[in-house]
Amino acid sequence: MSFDVICFDCDSTLSKIEGIDELARRVGLGEEMSKLTDLAMNGIVPLEAVYERRLSLIQPDQNSINWLADLYIVEIVEGVKEVFAALLAQDKTVHIISGGLRQAILPLAKYLGLPESQVHAVDIYFNEDGRYDTYDLNSPLARTGGKAEICRQLLNAQDSLVMIGDGKTDMEAKDAGAYVLGFGGVVDRAIVRDLADFYTTEPSLLSVLEHIL
């Protein structure tokens, strides 16, 4: 199949980490946060039930977001750079759609040749001294069904869209008429295996290229 618009999740898809879990680990809350993230990604609890709670517990400051931005690039999934280069060389429209924190993801997007306008994630806000203030409470990506909302906005009548990701929230793009491709190369989730139109557990993202071009 060939798609006009190609969308990727970030955490456990483009990078091997879950950003919120790494921020939690940095302040000694790793185990508790990992459990919450896993419940949301497996569809056991709605994303909005854990989103605010995680951030209010972690209180990530500006320095920790900069640290996370570097870590996303260090922990990039095998084949990601090549996949993006191949898609952009064919003038494909590529987006990142993530429930992660936008400021931490933007440097990875830049590294992959993607403009900021094609990165959809949750903005985080800081006080003047760089301490955590709040996040974009109105962002659809901080709640269940948000990725489907973004896909609807990107999908016009003549376009076909594919969403590639590792979690239940990525599979919700089906509700917008998207083809969904489950990437289990970092985390293999039974619910994603069940819901995806195509599923792979290959560790390299190159394994998806033949299914999207």
Classified as helix, coil or strand, 115 is: coil
Q: What are phi and psi of 119, to 5 degrees?
A: -115, 115
Query: Could you list the residue range(s) of the whole structural domain that residue 145 is in?
Result: 5-212
Classify each residue of 100-128 as buried b or exposed e, where b means 16 or more C-beta atoms within 10 Å of its C-beta.
bbbbbbbebbeebebeeeebbbbebebee
Question: What positions carry a catalytic annotation?
Answer: 9, 11
Read off the pLDDT of each residue in 58-79 and give the average, rounded to a whole number: 98
Residue 158 has pLDDT above 80, yes or no: no
Q: Give residue-wise pLDDT tens across range 71-98.
A: 999 999 999 999 999 999 999 999 999 9
Read off the pLDDT of each residue in 2-6 and give the average, rounded to a whole number: 91
pLDDT at residue 147 in the model: 96
- Give me the CATH number covering residue 205: 3.40.50.1000
Residue 34 has pLDDT above 90, yes or no: no
Read off the pLDDT of each residue in 114-135 and give the average, rounded to a whole number: 97
Token pair belonging to 140: 């659809």
Separation of alpha carbons 137 and 124, rounded Å: 9
| Mean of per-residue pLDDT scores for the chain | 94
Residue 43 has pLDDT above 90, yes or no: no
Residue 28 has pLDDT above 80, yes or no: yes
Tally of structural domains, the chain: 1
Classified as helix, coil or strand, 171 is: helix
Residue 117 has pLDDT above 80, yes or no: yes
